[in-house]
Amino acid sequence: MTYDLLIQNIKELILPVSTERPLKGKDLDELNVVKNGTVVVHEGKIVYAGPYTEDYEARETIDASDRVVSPALVDAHTHLVHGGSREHEMALKRQGKSYLEILESGGGILSTVEATRQATEDELFNKAEYDLLTMIHHGVLAVESKSGYGLNKENELKQLRVSKRLEEKYGLKMRHTFLGPHAIPKEASSQADFLQEMIDLLPEAQKYADFADIFCETGVFTLEESKRYMEAAKALGLRVKIHADEIDPLGGLGLAIEEEAISADHLVASSDKDKANLKDSDTVAVLLPGTTFYLDKESYADARGMLDNNGAIAIATDYNPGSCVTNNLQMVMAIAALKLKLSPAEIWNAVTVNAAKAIDVDAGTINEGDDANIVIWRAPNHEYIPYHYGVNHVEKVIQNGRVIVDRQPGLLTNA
């Protein structure tokens, strides 16, 4: 039989395990890396992925000598769809202006809300499309995309529709999250009334959304309000997530475990008790070290403590216009190595198989029978990619067995 695609002479082939549950604790430090590997693809699926073999013939062969091959990456936390940008706030932050001072001067999250409301659906689509294509060029083929910059019915649904349009156009494995309770809009009569408005919006949001999320933090939504919202979402059949313990240890991680959330995200300030309870839960702790880096904070999420307690972690960008302005997951992998003290194996599992579990998507592995979503990296080994930071190491991105990105560098020529 002649197959569609043969990737041969792979210097290192990264094969995360296929698993029903997220990898926990020490298991995250186990990574199957095959030296001199081969991958065979037919009709968009993996036929074989393992040690070198000459047992297969294919219509197309890619020589991956001196290359690393892995599953496509999974970005499990993004705010992909939003209007405007906030670059002017960088200078204000360097001048010592606090978040509240920036907010009072018309900046902060509410400025993004205003820009998102002012943008048409097509304008939001075009902006998010460019950012999504950047992610794809950096090796990502599965993405979670949140709303949360509309803060009213019309504009929250607008964001979710844009997210669905992107999925349909590019055939990516996308998940869409309704984050209506992300902040309190200026026009809200009260926090309680606004939260009820977002709860009432859940049935319509469910037409587009896979998950419901809430920002549980001082000055935003309390633990009790977050619980009420999560239980309302669950009653409709929506799975839940939570922005938790980013600044203050309110107990959001504990609530996520109690409510069987698919993920709890940020967790910089989570308590030792809640981190210990991760061992009895399949809730994935989605850590966002790029956000801590961009905000220039000293304390990062305690990834090592979570793993030592046999918890499950994933790594994501948190791409957004205010607190983490990067859609390069490779860069965040480097920050995870430096600041979260993660090993290369832990990082690779955290951006593939465990990130996929955090958004309930069939991705992150390229074992027999899996979709052939593959990245070929111009790197001598898998440790090199988080080591050589700030650049794009992708050479080829393969979606369902077809090369959609080819970045082989060549000599510059005069036009």
Binding residues for 4-imidazolone-5-propanoate: 86, 149, 182, 246, 323
Strands 211-212, 68-71: pairing kind: unpaired
Binding residues: 77, 79, 86, 149, 182, 243, 246, 318, 320, 322-323
Binding residues for Fe(3+): 77, 79, 243, 318
Q: Of the candidates 80, 78, 77, 151, which has an alpha carbon nearest to the alpha carbon of residue 109? A: 151
Binding residues for N-formimidoyl-L-glutamate: 149, 320, 322
Phi and psi angles of residue 291, each rounded to the nearest 5 degrees, phi first: -70, -45
User: What are the residues facing 12 on neighbouring strands?
Assistant: 35, 68
Q: State the Cα–Cα distance between residues 128 and 267, nearest whole angstrom.
A: 27
Q: State the Cα–Cα distance between residues 312 and 25, nearest whole angstrom.
A: 6
Binding residues for Zn(2+): 77, 79, 243, 318
What are the distances in angstroms from CA 388 to CA 7, 143, 395? 25, 24, 15
Residue that is written with structure tokens 């465990």 in the block: 354
Strands 374-377, 68-71: pairing kind: antiparallel
Phi and psi angles of residue 336, each rounded to the nearest 5 degrees, phi first: -65, -35
Q: State the Cα–Cα distance between residues 20 and 16, nearest whole angstrom.
A: 13
Q: State the Cα–Cα distance between residues 357 and 373, nearest whole angstrom.
A: 16
